[in-house]
Amino acid sequence: MSQEVGQDTTGFETDASAGPTSDVMVEVEDLKTYYDDGGLLSNTPVKAVDGVTFDIRRGETLGLVGESGCGKTTLGRTLLQLEEATAGEIRFDDTDVTKLDGDEIQTWRKNAQIVFQDPDSSLNDRMTIGEIVREPLDVHDWETSRARRQRVKELLDTVGLQREHYYRYPHQFSGGQRQRISIARTLALEPDFVVLDEPVSALDVSVQAEIINLLEDLQNEFGLTYLFIAHDLSVVRHLCDRVAVMYLGNIMEIGPTEELFTNPANPYTHALLSAIPRPDPTVERNRIMLHGTPPNPRYPPSGCPFSTRCPARIRPEEYRGLDDALWTRLITLRGLINERKRAELSIRERVKSKLGGSTRFGTVEEIYDELFGDLKVPSSVQPVLDEIATHLRGRDEDGALAVFDEEFGGVCERESPDYQTVSETGQQTLCHRHTGDYESPETVLDRRHG
Ligand SMILES: Nc1ncnc2c1ncn2[C@@H]1O[C@H](COP(=O)(O)OP(=O)(O)OP(=O)(O)O)[C@@H](O)[C@H]1O
């Protein structure tokens, strides 16, 4: 975590050592990165990053968290122009880097570097450590050959390696030492901004703390700004000034770390944090179980990106008083229908079903019995369930979903939410529940899962 952090007049945390021009180093606006694989499905790209807006302040560490596949790496790589942005702007100190041409990018990239999760894939085993760390200096034709050699030796000192290591090869080093080599290489051109893409995930737990400490020391020594991509929320809590929570290509919540961990706003953040193992397993906790898996980023849902799994989804007026247990089972049913729909695309499942074999989803009767057998289903809900069942028996998952959403859907499925600021420190969340027209996610989650 950066050390020199103060408060500006707006109450935002600021870096007291920031340059005179602005506290903001990177401004990202409505950024989209879509992957078009050029195949049969090329008309429907993977929306890996689907319209994110945020900034990164000079000297801070911004954490980027979220389930696997939510777009963290793509976002990090797009900021560095290692992936081409499909739309939107990325302004580094007021230069929109998405507009730079090849040579300009090459020059600009000195300022912005990346450390990868797996040092093995980024270190060429046939090059000596000296050659590896020196390579960026050679590419940018930095000073003289002698000065480069000297710089590499200093960098080896800086990251806690020895100068004699210059002539050794990567395979002679441990995982932690190899990550130190990649960090030295990253620092060679004195960047201001570094994307750390899961830099300790591949390392033994005992080594992780050493590398984290090194990254903190380097940040303080060189005034670096970090985007820290991670799965491990405890590391994020320790290291980051602010955190952005990603889901299906969107930033669902962003805010100061402690505030986000102790007072999460977005239902997705609630769910993510509730899954962190507690130090004392005897203490009861209310884990929020998310149903199903995230939607395919090629086909994100309409409305809120989290609507298909949200445990605090807003119900239509007429169902607000419905028993919470029944509502939860209805949401589970929707998840199951979605899974069946995806399985429809699986040839194996289709063949099995055609041959009359049982599929892993069981019959509609079995599903209904499992979900609703022990609950009293009111007469307003039963006819809808019957209609859904008819569609399911005919293997018409789309029809079943349409009936479901028409009856039980609401604003979350219909409208994209806007960012709402929920604290004086600038914590922002993408959720209809924060517009003031509805109960807060916390109230609803306490009632439904408390
Ligand atoms: N080069 C690519 N071509 C097509 N799709 C891609 C490509 N790279 C990533 N994707 C897809 O984009 C989505 C986001 O992937 P990304 O790697 O950015 O997520 P992530 O959050 O970093 O995941 P992880 O934590 O597993 O690294 C995923 O659905 C992934 O399959």
Q: What is the location of CATH 3.40.50.300 in the chain?
A: 24-275
| Distance from the alpha carbon of residue 140 to the mean position of ligand 1, in angstroms | 30
- What pTM value is reported for the model? 0.86
List the alpha helices (DSSP H) in 140-256: 145-158, 175-187, 205-222, 233-239
Q: What integer pLDDT is reported at residue 332 of this predicted model? A: 83
Residues with pLDDT less than 50, the chain? 3-20, 357-358
The string of pLDDT tens digits covering residues 197-229 is 999 999 999 899 999 999 999 999 999 999 999
Q: What integer pLDDT is reported at residue 121 of this predicted model? A: 76
Superfamily for domain range 24-275: P-loop containing nucleotide triphosphate hydrolases (3.40.50.300)
Most informative mutation of 33, 41, 73, 236 for ligand 1 (most atoms within 8 A of CB):
73
Interface pTM (ipTM) of the complex?
0.98
Q: What integer pLDDT is reported at residue 387 of this predicted model? A: 97
Q: What integer pLDDT is reported at residue 275 of this predicted model? A: 81
The Cα-based distances of 113 to 29, 251, 367 in angstroms read 21, 22, 51
| Distance from the alpha carbon of residue 199 to the mean position of ligand 1, in angstroms | 17
Most informative mutation of 70, 74, 250 for ligand 1 (most atoms within 8 A of CB):
74
Q: What integer pLDDT is reported at residue 62 of this predicted model? A: 98
Do 182 and 100 contact (CB within 8 A), yes or no?
no
The string of pLDDT tens digits covering residues 349-405 is 555 555 554 455 568 898 899 899 999 999 999 999 999 999 999 989 999 999 999
- Provide the 3-class DSSP secondary structure of residue 29: strand
Nearest to 144 by CA among 154, 156, 155, 134: 134
